[in-house]
Chains A and B, each alone.
Chain A
Amino acid sequence: MKSQKPHIAIRFLRLFCHPVLLEDVEGDVHELYEEHLELVGAGRAGLLVWLEVLKLFRPGIIRPLGGAYRLNNYGMFKNHLTSAWRNLLKRKRFSALNIMGLSIGMAACFIIFQYVKFELSYDRFIPDVDNVYRVTLGIEGSKSLGSGIYAVNHKPVWSAIKSDFPEIEQTSRILKITSWGLTDQRISYIPNEGDKREISLENSYAGDQGFIDIFDLQFVDGDPHSALAGIFNIVLSETVTNRLFGDEYAIGKTVKFSHYTFKVAGIFKDLPANSHLQIDCIGSIHSTETPQSLNDWSDVNYYTYVKVRPGTDVRMLERKLDSFVDKYLGEAMHANGITEHMNLQPVSDIHLHSHLLREAESNGSYQTVLFLSAVGILILVIAWINFINLSTSRAFERASEVGIRKVIGASRGTLIIQFFVESTLINAVALGLSLIWVQLSASAFNELIGNPVVTGLSTYEFWVVENNLSIFACILTVGSFLAGLYPALVLSSYLPIKVLKGKFQASGQKFGLRNTLVIFQFGISYALITGTIVMVSQLRYMQRQQLGFKTNEMLVVKAPLVYDSLMRVRVERFENILLTHPNITNFVASSDIPGHTSETISSIKRKEDTESEAILSPYIFTDDSFIPTYQIELLEGRNFHKDAPADKQKVLINEMAAHMLGYASNAEAIGSKIQMKLEGHADYEILGVFRNVNLQSLSQQVQPLVLCPFNESGWWQFKPDYFTISLNGDDVYPAASSVRENFMEIFPDELYMEYFLDDHFNAQYERDKQVGKVFGIFSGLAILVACMGLLGLVYYVASTRTKEICIRKVLGASFGQILSLLGRQFITLVVVSFLVAIPVSWLLADNWLDNYAFRMQLHPWIFIVAGAVVLAIALLTVFWQSWKTAHANPVDSLRNE
């Protein structure tokens, strides 16, 4: 066969092959290629020849790098290292400050980087995560209400969507059983008669087989393909299994959960910490479903996930969902004056980009991640600036060295390399030190965040799986280059004649780069401190904010599931017994409670005004005890009266509802009638208007609220779901346990679940608190690093002016004068930095606060306090060094000349 142009692989071979070997190796490869060509065809032969050439890419074949044997720069390089090392040791304190600052900066940056990486990694463990979506539900009420988007969806969506759209491969629905707050969901196992093991779960779900498939739950035991296919099957997480069963074999055993008995059909590995769902157990969802309930579109509680076929145009699919909604819900929407729409939300976006109503868990915030990344980079920048400032401030010392080197024959390039070597050395030492900081702080940081964000240095994962080595290499290279560039250019530029004649000035310009950099450093520190103060005070503001009802010493108990007239008698007995207890002041049964994500919403309309727009409002069915128990202030009208049957057709509304219904004043609302779409457009008369209460977290707006009385027919439909018991006294726990005992006695078949209302409310702020702490720690570090740089600068100025200062002292200068001599310049810089930073941090803080419906005002004192803190720390730094200089014995430095 004629050989035309040589194969590209062979040309690659020529690039790297050792010239001595090239001829026959190339011949060999060529021969092989031609042989393959005949046997298997051009395509495969090309592949094979590539493989062969790639295997040739190995030591022994590769040519030596050009001139490796002639590298007589080695000696010079060694000399650079030696002189860099000597320079480090010569000014120990200087170097220590430099390295310390850099290492703290690197460690902080690295830890934040890990945190960011963790936040971004959410749900990536799901196979084909890019094809997995959650179907969200947007409900739009009237103009006045705006819109709400829910993470949950109508119950039948999972099956309808699958049968309507062929591009959807798989669907799943899960239902979070544990109402949040009611932490006492228990699962129990009875190994033998009289022995009962019971544990409480926090994240229990009912789900279907599709969920296991889509999320690819890793089964430790049991059959992952059919675990939830049968009814009354349950799969447990490994942790739950170990807690419940110990060493016992769990598969096939029966457990009691909620009101049912389940068979354990599988055990799955706990979901990773970076999953938007944490799951303790999943019971098979169709255990209690009937054909009717399967088609119940009014049931909006189900997280619905779909997996689309690869290559599906999701935007297109989303557009088709409009007609889907119309097909199944059009009638209902029309009847209720609601519009709904559905969207497909990528599952990997849930953690950082989704803050819908009724999320399964509180999600992270992308903004926080951005903020923290910025903080991490800024700390590192501050540390690099230290390096630049400290290096250039020593220019005077180094100048004669540079001069001599140049006279001997060093070129500028050589000197630049020398300074780069120096900066690399310092950066490398700092990097080594930063690893120690990371190791020491890893567990504390993980604990603060509540997730395993930073793994220990000694683990395999740390170096190999997470690829941290390249991050360190990156920090080192970028740092050595960026921080080393300016000093290298400046220091290498000196003219030997000038320098050696002694006519060299330490810093020529009055307002040089160094000052700008100091201003920048302190500006950043100032902004970070302000940010921390704003965060903490906003949090305090929200917690102190009046919710409008009593939250402390309020015990909430889940009411019995089944309700009938007999049960009503028992509830009354329960109430009467409890109220005899000296520490129990009030008792109320209600269909919902404030603080619970109230999703029982009804459309309300003024009756006499047919033109007026309907509004959507949450409602709570309760009785006359609600207002006194929750200590809600009635602004107008009166409460329900217990013994007035006419009150059964009257409601109480809050100010917001009155306002939205269009009443000019609260008083005007009293006595007018409204229609509620509850039991076939029943009319209710407004009996009273009460002060607004914040049903949910203060990051959300006040909602309207309607309190309706239980009535005979309503008693069935709207049964009490919760009992709220108001306790008093120093120690509420005995009273709480008395509630528990009585509940168990009166409702022996029921599960007892309780929580304190204030615990529940405070839990909402946990995440904000955590972020505030993290932010605070890192702003502290930023200012620490900045001050290290300041300390170095002051120290340097002091040390070059020691003699001047001593002579001034001998001549009678006071400490104050010396302090002002040394510190005035720096303190001025710090103050200037405030002027630059105040507008920027004001804007940022204002922007951040806009996330909260209840935001505090940005008072000037925040900025004054932050300024005072930064200034105090800077002053202290300057003061410390000045004090040492001013109190040195003049004789020590003046005697040798």
Chain B
Amino acid sequence: MGNASLGEFEEVVLLTAAVLYPEAYGIAIKKEIEIRLKRGVSVGAMRVALSRMEKKGFLKSEFGEATSVRGGKRKRYFKVTPAGKRALEQVMESRQLLWESIPKMAFDFKIT
């Protein structure tokens, strides 16, 4: 599963798209990330990540209805595919496994 791996930013974007469903489109995802994770996201970075994951098959997209607010441009709504869900789960599982195998001592900080 070479190309099924997720980068950190991709993971965040994918998760956010899932959170916002069915209202997940560009600006909404961007704002959500900015609010929840308190980090700046450029349209460019986000759009590239979205396209890449669409290519990998983690996301599906379709255009919504045209509105007047966006200069008449349609929104592209994103939806996490089953493959995307699997990839997210896999990431979580592997993190979980790692967390569980941490020996207690490693976090035994002493405050002096």
Query: Roughly how many angstroms separate A57 CA and B73 CA in the complex, as a whole number?
Result: 20
The interface residues of chain A lying within 8 Å CB-to-CB of B86 are none
User: Are B27 and A21 touching (Cβ within 8 A)?
Assistant: no
Known contacts A28-B26, A32-B27; A56/B70 CB under 8 A: no
User: Are B43 and A28 touching (Cβ within 8 A)?
Assistant: yes
User: Are B48 and A34 touching (Cβ within 8 A)?
Assistant: no
**Quick check: is B69 within 8 A (CB to CB) of the other chain?**
yes
Among residues 54 to 106 in chain B, which have CB atoms less than 8 Å away from a CB atom of chain A?
Answer: 63, 69-76
The interface residues of chain B lying within 8 Å CB-to-CB of A55 are 42-45
Q: Which of chain A's residues has its CB closest to B49's CB?
A: A60
User: Are A24 and B63 touching (Cβ within 8 A)?
Assistant: yes
Our pick among B25, B44, B48, B63 for the contact of A52 (Cβ within 8 Å) is B44
**Quick check: is A23 within 8 A (CB to CB) of the other chain?**
yes
Query: Roughly how many angstroms separate A610 CA and B71 CA in the complex, as a whole number?
Result: 95
User: Are B47 and A61 touching (Cβ within 8 A)?
Assistant: yes
Known contacts A31-B70, A58-B48; A25/B26 CB under 8 A: yes
Known contacts A24-B73, A26-B73, A27-B70; A61/B27 CB under 8 A: no
Query: Roughly how many angstroms separate A29 CA and B73 CA in the complex, as a whole number?
Result: 10
Our pick among A10, A27, A28, A60 for the contact of B48 (Cβ within 8 Å) is A60
Q: How many residues of B contact A (CB 8 A)?
A: 21
Q: Render A1-33 as a binary contact track against B, CB cut-off 8 A, 1 for contact.
A: 001001000100000000001011111111110
The interface residues of chain B lying within 8 Å CB-to-CB of A57 are 44
Query: Roughly how many angstroms separate A609 CA and B73 CA in the complex, as a whole number?
Result: 101
Our pick among B43, B48, B71, B76 for the contact of A3 (Cβ within 8 Å) is B71
User: Are B70 and A30 touching (Cβ within 8 A)?
Assistant: yes
The interface residues of chain B lying within 8 Å CB-to-CB of A23 are 63, 73-74, 76
Q: Which of chain A's residues has its CB closest to B67's CB?
A: A27
Nearest Cβ on chain A to B79's Cβ, whole angstroms: 14
User: Are A52 and B43 touching (Cβ within 8 A)?
Assistant: yes
Our pick among B43, B45, B72 for the contact of A25 (Cβ within 8 Å) is B43
User: Are B75 and A34 touching (Cβ within 8 A)?
Assistant: no
Query: Roughly how many angstroms separate A57 CA and B42 CA in the complex, as a whole number?
Result: 11
Among residues 6 to 34 in chain B, which have CB atoms less than 8 Å away from a CB atom of chain A?
Answer: 25-27, 30
**Quick check: is B5 within 8 A (CB to CB) of the other chain?**
no
The interface residues of chain B lying within 8 Å CB-to-CB of A6 are 71
The interface residues of chain A lying within 8 Å CB-to-CB of B76 are 23-24, 27
The interface residues of chain B lying within 8 Å CB-to-CB of A31 are 27, 69-70
The interface residues of chain A lying within 8 Å CB-to-CB of B75 are 24, 27
Query: Roughly how many angstroms separate A397 CA and B108 CA in the complex, as a whole number?
Result: 83
Among residues 730 to 784 in chain A, which have CB atoms less than 8 Å away from a CB atom of chain B?
Answer: none
Our pick among B26, B45, B48, B52 for the contact of A24 (Cβ within 8 Å) is B26
Chain A, interface size category, equals: 20 to 34
Known contacts A28-B26, A60-B52; A34/B69 CB under 8 A: yes
Nearest Cβ on chain B to A204's Cβ, whole angstroms: 55
Query: Roughly how many angstroms separate A845 CA and B57 CA in the complex, as a whole number?
Result: 77
Known contacts A24-B74, A24-B75; A52/B42 CB under 8 A: yes
Q: Which of chain B's residues has its CB closest to A56's CB?
A: B44
Q: Render A151-174 as a binary contact track against B, CB cut-off 8 A, 1 for contact.
A: 000000000000000000000000
Query: Roughly how many angstroms separate A75 CA and B45 CA in the complex, as a whole number?
Result: 36
Q: Which of chain B's residues has its CB closest to A58's CB?
A: B44
User: Are A61 and B48 touching (Cβ within 8 A)?
Assistant: yes
User: Are B73 and A27 touching (Cβ within 8 A)?
Assistant: yes
The interface residues of chain B lying within 8 Å CB-to-CB of A27 are 26, 70-71, 73-76
Query: Roughly how many angstroms separate A23 CA and B70 CA in the complex, as a whole number?
Result: 10
Nearest Cβ on chain A to B13's Cβ, whole angstroms: 14
Nearest Cβ on chain A to B95's Cβ, whole angstroms: 27
The interface residues of chain B lying within 8 Å CB-to-CB of A3 are 71-72
Interface majority SS (helix, strand, loop, mixed), chain A: helix
Nearest Cβ on chain A to B71's Cβ, whole angstroms: 4
Nearest Cβ on chain A to B90's Cβ, whole angstroms: 24
User: Are A21 and B26 touching (Cβ within 8 A)?
Assistant: no
Query: Roughly how many angstroms separate A61 CA and B48 CA in the complex, as a whole number?
Result: 7
Known contacts A24-B25, A25-B26, A31-B27; A61/B44 CB under 8 A: yes
Query: Roughly how many angstroms separate A26 CA and B75 CA in the complex, as a whole number?
Result: 10
The interface residues of chain B lying within 8 Å CB-to-CB of A26 are 71, 73
Query: Roughly how many angstroms separate A56 CA and B47 CA in the complex, as a whole number?
Result: 8
Query: Roughly how many angstroms separate A30 CA and B27 CA in the complex, as a whole number?
Result: 10
The interface residues of chain B lying within 8 Å CB-to-CB of A34 are 69
User: Are A25 and B47 touching (Cβ within 8 A)?
Assistant: yes
Q: Which of chain B's residues has its CB closest to A35's CB?
A: B27
The interface residues of chain A lying within 8 Å CB-to-CB of B69 are 31, 34
The interface residues of chain B lying within 8 Å CB-to-CB of A29 are 43
Most buried by A among B25, B44, B52, B76: B44
User: Are B51 and A21 touching (Cβ within 8 A)?
Assistant: yes
Query: Roughly how many angstroms separate A31 CA and B30 CA in the complex, as a whole number?
Result: 12
Nearest Cβ on chain B to A14's Cβ, whole angstroms: 11
Known contacts A52-B42, A60-B52; A28/B71 CB under 8 A: no
Query: Roughly how many angstroms separate A600 CA and B26 CA in the complex, as a whole number?
Result: 83
Query: Roughly how many angstroms separate A60 CA and B44 CA in the complex, as a whole number?
Result: 9
Query: Roughly how many angstroms separate A28 CA and B45 CA in the complex, as a whole number?
Result: 13
Nearest Cβ on chain B to A11's Cβ, whole angstroms: 12
Nearest Cβ on chain B to A697's Cβ, whole angstroms: 65
Query: Roughly how many angstroms separate A28 CA and B63 CA in the complex, as a whole number?
Result: 13
Nearest Cβ on chain B to A182's Cβ, whole angstroms: 65
Among residues 34 to 65 in chain A, which have CB atoms less than 8 Å away from a CB atom of chain B?
Answer: 34, 52, 55-58, 60-61
Q: Render A169-187 as a binary contact track against B, CB cut-off 8 A, 1 for contact.
A: 0000000000000000000
The interface residues of chain B lying within 8 Å CB-to-CB of A56 are 42-44, 47
Most buried by A among B42, B45, B51, B70: B70
User: Are B70 and A21 touching (Cβ within 8 A)?
Assistant: no
The interface residues of chain B lying within 8 Å CB-to-CB of A24 are 25-26, 63, 73-76
The interface residues of chain A lying within 8 Å CB-to-CB of B72 are 3
The interface residues of chain B lying within 8 Å CB-to-CB of A61 are 44, 47-48
Q: Which of chain A's residues has its CB closest to B45's CB?
A: A55
Nearest Cβ on chain A to B108's Cβ, whole angstroms: 43
Nearest Cβ on chain A to B10's Cβ, whole angstroms: 13
Nearest Cβ on chain A to B20's Cβ, whole angstroms: 14
Most buried by B among A24, A55, A57, A60: A24
Nearest Cβ on chain A to B86's Cβ, whole angstroms: 24
The interface residues of chain A lying within 8 Å CB-to-CB of B27 are 28, 31-32
Q: Which of chain A's residues has its CB closest to B46's CB?
A: A28
Query: Roughly how many angstroms separate A60 CA and B69 CA in the complex, as a whole number?
Result: 26
The interface residues of chain A lying within 8 Å CB-to-CB of B42 are 52, 55-56
Known contacts A24-B26, A30-B71; A60/B51 CB under 8 A: yes
The interface residues of chain A lying within 8 Å CB-to-CB of B73 are 23-24, 26-27, 30
The interface residues of chain B lying within 8 Å CB-to-CB of A30 are 70-71, 73
Nearest Cβ on chain B to A843's Cβ, whole angstroms: 62
Q: Which of chain B's residues has its CB closest to A34's CB?
A: B69
Query: Roughly how many angstroms separate A24 CA and B73 CA in the complex, as a whole number?
Result: 7
Q: Which of chain B's residues has its CB closest to A30's CB?
A: B71
Nearest Cβ on chain A to B3's Cβ, whole angstroms: 16
Query: Roughly how many angstroms separate A10 CA and B30 CA in the complex, as a whole number?
Result: 19
The interface residues of chain A lying within 8 Å CB-to-CB of B43 are 25, 28-29, 32, 52, 55-56
A-B contacts, 24 of them at CB < 8 A, read A6-B71, A21-B51, A23-B74, A24-B26, A24-B63, A25-B43, A27-B71, A27-B75, A28-B26, A28-B27, A28-B30, A28-B70, A29-B43, A30-B70, A30-B73, A52-B44, A55-B42, A55-B43, A55-B44, A55-B45, A56-B44, A57-B44, A58-B48, A60-B52
- B interface vs A, CB < 8 Å? 25-27, 30, 42-45, 47-48, 51-52, 63, 69-76
Query: Closest 7 interchain pairs by CB?
Result: A27-B73, A24-B76, A56-B44, A28-B26, A27-B70, A55-B42, A60-B48
Given A28-B25, A30-B71, A34-B69, 8 other A-B contacts at CB below 8 A?
A24-B63, A24-B74, A26-B73, A31-B69, A32-B43, A52-B44, A55-B43, A61-B47
